[in-house]
Amino acid sequence: MNWIDEAWEKAIKKVTLSGNRIKDGIPYKVVDRKYNDLSDDPNWWTNGFWAGLLWLMYKATGDGTFRSYAEGVEKKLDTALMNYDRVDHDAGFLWLLSAVTNFRLTGNEKSRRTGLIAASIMASRYNLKGGFIRAWNDYQGMNRAGWAIIDCMMNLPLLYWASEMSNDPRFKFIAQSHADTTMREFIRPDGSVKHIVCFDPETGVVKDWLGGQGYDRDSSWSRGTAWALYGFTLSHQYTGEQRYLDTAKKVANFFIASLPDDYVPYADFKAPRDLNIHRDTSAGACAASGLLLLSSLVSENERDIYKNAALKILKSLYENYGSWDEDYEALLKHGCVAFHSKDEADVSLIYADYFLMEALAQLKGIRPLFSRY
């Protein structure tokens, strides 16, 4: 048995065990060897990833138990959708992986409506002057009306799906406008990526950019780079636009060239190496899944470049960063939420597990949930 088959079988077994305990809970990070539960905070941006992981398990095994748990999570997220003041650009992470996937796999009409409502709220955040989707809402008196972040690229598939589902191109127009602005204002000539760009919300003019979860404003946060790599790949897949594929390759080339010897990224690619820099397995897993999809969309002579890089990342994650003990719930250790984080700089994260499973599923012929069906 090769390492891919071993990793897949171990992941299936471990998520099955975890699912028997978590059920329709909403895990975020591991505390005392078990995932915590954010069911009391349904609007948190990561809350769709467990549902997505359960749907991947359902697709892989056909076991209806995973479906029932995923539908239970979706019911909890219905309450989040009604809390309009807290819904933001991360609507894709929450409802593409839950309601939209439910509809795609089962034809559930209520889930379809939920997905369209979420897409409508996300589209309402579009700033016409700046051509961007606003990121977060205001917080503790901080006006963030003009803030856009690289993470939004991974949420655009919700809008592309809504356009196809409603036969209304306006959702797609908003998504493409945001992608074009991101391409122009976030992606540097070397393929590195800014995290936060601040626009004047009245004029659309760029005022500044911020380091956000990276080391500083001129660095390149590795998970943000993965968001861009995967996000532009998805925008190309949904629209067929060559400029998005070219941008995805540009960012992918930077990501691959910046990897250390064991192929698992540091939390920031441009931070000084004399600092005690944590790895981020979530960035590695997300990038690997994006690279696999990218490899299926490029020319034949480029295909192996991106697939081989994905395989090297995944093999290292499995062999060097995985946790296969039954009493430790997550699949991956050593995730990093933000470069300067103190309590979440070396932690297991649900989205790292999701993207690892999604990447392995791609190698087994299962289409990623973010992709166009």
Q: Which residues are catalytic?
A: 90, 151
Please give the order of strands across the beta sheet that includes 206-210.
147-149, 196-199, 206-210
> How many other C-beta atoms are found inside a 10 Å radius of the C-beta of residue 169?
11
* 3 CB-near residues (< 8 Å, 6+ apart): 315, 318, 319
Cβ contact 39:22 at 8 Å? no
Cα 3 from Cα 334, distance rounded (Å): 21
Cα 357 from Cα 347, distance rounded (Å): 18
Cβ contact 214:339 at 8 Å? yes
Written as one letter, the residue type at 165 is M
- Here the tokens at position 75 are 């019911």
Question: With the C-alpha atoms ordered 349, 350, 353, 355, is the resulting torsion angle positive or negative?
Answer: negative
Cα 164 from Cα 158, distance rounded (Å): 10
* 38 CB-near residues (< 8 Å, 6+ apart): 26, 27, 28, 44, 46, 47
Half-sphere exposure of 54 (CA within 13 A, CB side): 31
Q: Which of 6, 12, 70, 35 is nearest to 333 (CA)?
A: 35
